[in-house]
Structure 1
Amino acid sequence: MNIFLCLALGLLATATLCQGFCFVLPRVLDTTTGRLPNGCIDAEGTIHQIGNAWNDKDCNRCKCLKHGIGCCSQIPRYFGLPESCKVVVNKDCTHKLVNENDPDSVCVPRGAVG
């Protein structure tokens, strides 16, 4: 029975590490017409149709919804990392934990905020 409990807790901890935080930005009025546009306008000024999804420059996966833009971070917020460990984010939004003092050692966080 203890084995199943340990396995379940381990799976829950892994799931927590894979999630990022989410947020919603309300749709904004078009300044020229004073009405809501037919889609969503992102931070760069690009218009996205309702239902379309994209990655923004901050590694958030966003989707245009009827009520606004819903985005979730693709990079977890780690906590409990040793000071020498840093999160390195690549241009394609992949990331890895790197120990700056000892590249051969593994950085293991206590968890992540998701």
Structure 2
Amino acid sequence: MKTILACLLVLAVSLPLSNASCFIQPLNSENSDIAGCLDSEKKLHKFGSQWRTDDCFDCSCFKDRIDCCSAFVTPVDYDKEKCISIFNKETCTYKTVEKDDHSKECPVRGWVG
């Protein structure tokens, strides 16, 4: 009983620390003759393959699911009154700059992702 409680405590503490920018998409197991995973754009990926989406998610194809996680981190702790964050889809990165002068970067104290 103590072991179960200890496991539940560890799980409860670790869940808020987990990466919330991942998701799993189960595959339809009814169609067993498919040779891979269909992504959201209906592109077929072979089992065991990996790819990056246009929205900067790194995905992996398994026989029962597609796993995807963000390929970027998001700035969360910066001066939001003075600065803005700008996402670059080409590099899958954020740049945090002053609102009035985009050539001046702002310090970021915390990232999520």
TM interval, short-chain normalised? 0.5 to 0.7
Judged with a 3 Å threshold, the aligned counterparts in structure 2 of structure 1 residues 23 and 70 are, in CA distance, closer, same or farther, namely: same
| Aligned partner of 1:77 among 68, 74, 79 | 74
Aligned amino acid, residue 111 of structure 1: G
**Amino acid in structure 1 at the alignment position of 2:36:** G
Amino acid in the other structure paired with 1:90: K
Q: Distance in 1 between matches of 2:103 and 2:93?
A: 20
Long gaps (5+) in structure 2: 1-18
Q: Against the structure 1 CA distance between its residues 94 and 20, is the aligned structure 2 distance closer, same or farther, given a 3 Å change threshold?
A: farther
**1:57–1:20 Cα change, 3 Å:** farther
Aligned to 2:8: none
In the superposition, the TM-score normalised over structure 2's length comes to 0.66
Q: Any idea what SS the aligned residue of 2:85 has?
A: strand
Map Cα deviations across residues 66-98 of structure 1 (whole Å, 9 max, x no partner). Answer: 221111111212212222221322334344223
Separation in structure 2 between the aligned mates of residue 87 and residue 64 of structure 1, nearest angstrom: 30
- Cα root mean square deviation, aligned: 2.3
- The partner residue of 1:53 within 50, 55, 63 is 50
1:14-25 matches, within 5 Å, as 21-25=21-25
The answer (yes or no) to whether the contact 1:20–1:75 under 8 Å persists in 2 is: no
Q: TM-score, normalised by structure 1?
A: 0.66
Q: Which runs of 4+ in 1 moved over 6 A?
A: none
Deviations 1:7-31 (A, max 9, x none): xxxxxxxxxxxx88222111135xx
* Counterpart position of 1:106: 105
Identical-residue share of aligned pairs (%) = 32
What residue identity is the alignment partner of 1:47?
L
| Aligned amino acid, residue 21 of structure 1 | S
The secondary structure found in structure 1 opposite 2:28 is: coil
